[in-house]
């Protein structure tokens, strides 16, 4: 009785890339347990946003009995989320564009113009991977005062690209290197300048890397906490900071927090649904180069 069953289980296990069904079972068990550990808090956050506090804590994992959107409205009002979202969008979009405008010509120069300086430039940019945000928080804060830009979102629009340049230049230049030389040469022979080359040849060719960079930079800027906390005030603050104010010192209204956090996560959830594979790849490249 057990004999044929074992054979078939073993076959299933091997097809899954494992020796025996006990290996397969053990592996799936470990992965499944961790998946549950990841999912439960996320699920808890999600359902809590639709519940009031008593039902959150009486029955934390149960589905909400009556779907109420009250928490979302309260969060928007109490944390000024409408304004904060506007600030976040403005800062993120501007910083993204500025990063690309700065990084693309630099990446092009490093990848395609042959001089000894390109290795030096590359080395300088890669220093950025060694400089943690917290280390330069105070000096940047002082700079913002000197520039008269403290509490002004413009400071973050100017500053964030500097932190994003290392990875962006790296992503773009490695893609630009792989563009075949013939393509460039025929354009040069037709009399194209560097700017024309960038615009008509390399920007289209580098589209995958540009998209990866845009995605990763979006996440960094949208999710950034420390600089937004220090450099902005209650009028100019981003959604991350606004949502954090929902946590009172003494009394905690978790439904309210959950509602606010979910709102702050909307664009991230969209990115997750539509482009996680690309983000995973990009993060891997970034991690290895660091």
Partner 1 sequence: MTSQTYSGQEQLASKTEALPRGYFRMRRARSRVAFLVLILPAMLWFLGLMIWPLFNMFYLSFFRWNDSLLNPKLFIGLGNYARMLQDQHFWHGIVNSAIYMAVDMPLVLLPGFVLGFFLSRRPPGSRWLRLVFFAPSMLSVAAVNLMFVGIYLPDGILNTLLRQAGLDQLTRVWLADPQTALGAVIAIDIWGSIGYYGILFYASLSNISEELFEAARLDGANMWDLIWRIALPLSRDFFGVAMVLNFIWIIYGSAQNVLILTKGGPGDHSTTLGYYLYNQAFVAYRLGYSQAIAVFAFVLGLLGILLIRRLTRRSEVA
How far is it, in rounded angstroms, from Cα 140 to Cα 229?
Answer: 13
Closest CB 210 distance from partner 1, rounded Å: 15
CA atoms within 13 A on the CB side of 70: 11
Q: In whole angstroms, what is the distance from residue 245 CA to residue 268 CA?
A: 20
3 state SS for 192-222: CCHHHHHHHHHHHHCHHHHHHHHHHHHHHHH
CB of 88 to partner 1, least distance (A): 11
Query: According to CB under 8 A, which one of 6, 115, 233, 234 is a site residue for partner 1?
Result: 115
Nearest approach in angstroms of CB 164 to partner 1 is 10
**Binding-residue total with partner 1 (CB under 8 A):** 104
Please say whether the beta carbons of 63 and 47 come within 8 A.
yes
Residue 146 sits at φ, ψ, to 5 deg, of -60, -35
Residue 31 binds partner 1, judged by CB under 8 A: yes
Q: Rule CB under 8 A: choose which of 7, 57, 97, 274 binds partner 1.
A: 57
10 binds partner 1 (CB under 8 A): no
Interface with partner 1 (CB under 8 A), residue from 83, 154, 179, 247: 247
The answer to whether the CB of 78 falls within 8 A of the CB of 255 is no
User: Residue 248: phi, psi to the nearest 5?
Assistant: -70, 165
Q: Enumerate residues 176-205 that contact partner 1 by CB under 8 A.
A: 182, 185-186, 188-189, 194
**Separation of alpha carbons 118 and 234, rounded Å:** 43
Residue 1 or 58 with smaller CB distance to partner 1: 58
Q: Report how far Cα 255 is from the mean position of its chain's Cα atoms.
A: 25
CB of 133 to partner 1, least distance (A): 7
CB-nearer residue toward partner 1: 1 or 134: 134
Contacts (CB under 8 A) with partner 1, residues 215-244: 219, 222-226, 230, 240-241, 243-244
Among 9, 10, 45, 149, binds partner 1 (CB under 8 A): 45
Q: Is 29 in the site for partner 1 (CB under 8 A)?
A: no
Query: What is the DSSP secondary structure assignment for residue 235, as one 8-state letter?
Result: T
Using CB under 8 A, which residues numbered 127 to 166 contact partner 1? Answer: 127-128, 130-140, 142-143, 145, 158-159, 161-163, 165-166
95 C-beta neighbours (distance < 10 Å), count: 26
Q: Which of 118, 154, 192, 205 binds partner 1 (CB under 8 A)?
A: 118
30 near partner 1, judged by CB under 8 A = yes
Cα–Cα nearest to 198, from 101, 105, 103: 105
- Contact predicate 109/121, CB 8 Å: yes
């Amino acid at each position: 009785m057990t004999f044929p069953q074992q054979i078939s289980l073993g076959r299933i296990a091997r097809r899954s890339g494992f020796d025996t069904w006990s290996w397969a079972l053990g592996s799936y068990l470990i992965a499944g347990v961790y998946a549950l550990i990841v999912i439960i808090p996320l699920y808890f956050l999600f359902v809590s946003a639709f519940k009031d506090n008593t039902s959150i804590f009486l029955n934390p994992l149960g589905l909400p009995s009556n779907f109420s959107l009250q928490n979302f409205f309260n969060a928007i009002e109490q944390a000024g989320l409408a304004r904060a979202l506007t600030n976040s969008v403005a800062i993120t979009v501007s910083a993204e564009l500025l990063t690309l405008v700065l990084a693309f010509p630099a990446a092009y120069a490093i990848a395609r113009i042959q001089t000894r300086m390109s290795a030096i430039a590359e080395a300088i940019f890669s220093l950025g991977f060694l400089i943690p945000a917290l280390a330069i928080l105070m000096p940047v804060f002082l700079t913002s005062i000197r520039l008269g830009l403290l509490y002004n979102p413009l400071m973050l629009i100017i500053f964030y690209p500097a932190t994003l340049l290392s990875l962006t230049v790296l992503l773009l230049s490695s893609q630009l290197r792989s563009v075949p030389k013939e393509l460039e040469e025929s354009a040069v022979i037709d009399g194209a300048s560097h700017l024309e080359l960038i615009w008509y040849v390399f920007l289209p060719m580098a589209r995958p890397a540009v998209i990866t960079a845009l995605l990763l930079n979006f996440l960094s800027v949208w999710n950034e906490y420390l600089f937004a906390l220090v450099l902005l005030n209650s009028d100019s603050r981003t959604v991350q900071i606004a949502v954090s104010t929902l946590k009172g010192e003494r009394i905690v209204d978790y439904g309210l927090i959950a509602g606010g956090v979910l709102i702050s996560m909307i664009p991230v959830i969209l990115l997750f649904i539509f482009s996680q594979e690309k983000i995973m790849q990009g993060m891997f490249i970034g991690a290895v180069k660091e």
